Amino acid sequence: MIVQKTMTGRAWAEMILLAAIWGGSFLAIRVALDEVAPLTSVAHRTGWAMLALWAVVAAMRLPVPRDPRVWVGFLGMGLLNNVIPFGLMAWGQLYIETGLTSILNAATAIFGVIAAALFFADERITLRKAIGIGFGFFGVATAIGLDNFRSFDLRSLAQLAIIAGTVFYALASVWARHFFQGLTPQVAAAGMLTGSTLITLPLAWIVDGPVALDLQPATLGAIAYYALIATAGAYLLYYRVLAVAGSGNLMLVTLLIPPVAITLGALVRAETLGANAFAGFALLAIGLVILDGRIGAALRRGVDRTRSRS
């Protein structure tokens, strides 16, 4: 069950900041991909973010888990939440626009509801959730372009790679609920990124060659942004907003990210999106609002008040 909390001005400001940070990450990743290969970009992202978060853990003097089962959990979480989705989305961004990537990424919430229902008895799919999921799927199909389902090319494959990445994000949320009970958010995030880096560094070395540091200033700046700010910093901010605003309100971040990414893509890389992309985002947004459930609850309260007066 999603617990709703009252949004304070500070919570709104922090949630908008989080959306702006994550929205900017799509552009930063695309800039880095002009010079580094997808797996290498992922290795940079997880490696530098890992070091930053362990520094935070050390500064806060948080206990480091010693149970081997927890470290197996870190490896699995790193694979599901970082290595696979980061790699798929980085590769997909080579062939589709930054803004479209962010729109398709919003499907994470839709698949998250489905994954929770499949694995947890207390997360069953109600009629409201089914309607929200239906809108979400139609939104994804519209954003991809219904005509594109008649043919298949590299751009189509890239869009499917982004969608596949969101499925792994959803599976990661199930994995986290199973393995990360009782861990502080900082340790959980640092451990997950450690598991990711243990996989991505050798994989990137084998596929792309040695990870180079002699890169163009724009590339180094982009890597610094998406690794230190949009990954390490954003994880810390995410858990802060989650504690203050609650998971229901935090779902709104999903709706705030695409406008940021679309605007930055247009301004910096002169990207343009078709009408179907915006229509798809609108349908996705409707699906997420239905999943959130607050509008329906407000309408029911209004009806109850009307009946009580009559």
| 76-233-42 Cα angle (round to 5) | 50
pLDDT category at 125 given cuts 50, 70, 90 is confident
The set of residues, in sequence order, having a beta carbon less than 8 Å from that of 159 and lying 6+ positions away, is: 92, 96, 100, 104, 144, 148
Q: What pLDDT score does 46 carry?
A: 97
More confident residue, 197 or 139: 197
Closest CA to 91 of 11, 32, 22, 176: 32
* DSSP assignment letter at 67: -
pLDDT(44) > 90: yes
**Could you tell me where the beta strands, DSSP code E, fall in 81-223?**
none
Q: Which residue has the tokens 């007066």?
A: 309
Residues 116-128 have a mean pLDDT of 81
- For 205, the 3-state DSSP assignment is helix
Q: Give tens-digit pLDDT for 282-306.
A: 998 888 888 876 655 544 454 445 4
Give the separation between CA 285 and CA 132, rounded to whole angstroms.
Answer: 9
Q: Could you tell me the residue ranges of all domains in the chain? A: 9-303
Closest CA to 113 of 29, 12, 2: 2
Among the listed ranges 37-41, 83-87, 107-111, 199-203, which one has the minimum average pLDDT value? 107-111
Q: Own/partner pairs for 122-130, CB < 8 Å, 24+ apart? A: 122/1, 128/290, 128/291, 128/293, 128/296, 129/290, 129/291
* DSSP assignment letter at 77: H
Tokens linked to 11? 């919570």
Q: What is the pTM of this model?
A: 0.86
Q: Give tens-digit pLDDT for 228-276.
A: 999 999 999 888 887 776 666 666 788 888 999 999 999 999 988 888 8
HSE of 280, CA atoms in CB hemisphere, 13 A: 25
